[in-house]
Amino acid sequence: MAINLVKGQKISLDKESGAGLAKVVMGLGWDPAKKKGFFSRKPAEIDLDASCTLFDENKTPLDFVYFGQLRSKDGSILHTGDNLTGEGEGDDEQIIVDLSRVPQHVKYLVFTVNSYQGQTFNEVDNAYCRIVDDKDGKELARFTLSGGGDNTALVMAKVYRHQGEWKMHALGEKTSGRVVNELLPAMVAVL
């Protein structure tokens, strides 16, 4: 059974998987907030973008995986593509991480979400991120991102190496930015 994480909680992904964890999927899902009132219109489309930034132990960014670069330079991380609306059930965007191929000098994988069009999280409902074991589809952890706010981005979570195992830290740090490189100061602050 998946763990429902709260902000600040840390877990061992290796222990949650119950076996050797090789590949995980970070899924991001959201819905446009429904307008309230008698004359409410269809919710506006919301273009959220999931990203992963690779850092070394000195907190130096090494690579970005996002809608503009769907694969890490070393090939260990793959973004499955950009969802421009938030429509549909399940994960709207996914980032697949082959943990066995992440180079040893990479210590942190920081996952972020930003609103490309600049809409705030007040306009987003049902936002979440989750980690799934790619081998069997088992959801290991889920972190609810909803709660509104005037921010246009979140540092969702970090996956990091600690004493030979992979751990996850649910962050949920509010920040602003339309593209991943604008979020670097907020990412470095949580490392």
Q: How far apart are CA 177 and CA 47, in angstroms?
A: 13
Q: Which of 71, 34, 55 is nearest to 146 (CA)?
A: 34
Q: How far apart are CA 27 and CA 108, in angstroms?
A: 18
Q: Which two tokens stand for residue 150?
A: 């005037």
Chain Cα centroid distance, residue 176: 15
- Give the pLDDT band (50/70/90) at residue 16: confident
Give the predicted TM-score (pTM) of the model.
0.90
Q: For position 82, what pLDDT does the model report?
A: 72
pLDDT tens-place string over residues 68-102: 999 999 999 999 987 655 566 778 899 999 999 99
- Give the pLDDT band (50/70/90) at residue 124: confident
Q: For position 87, what pLDDT does the model report?
A: 64
Which residues, other chains included, contact 35 with Cβ-Cβ below 8 Å and sequence gap of 6+? Answer: 41, 43
Domain 3-33+45-189 matching CATH 1.10.1040.10: the answer reads: no
Candidate from 42-46, 106-110, 138-142, 154-158 with smallest mean pLDDT: 42-46
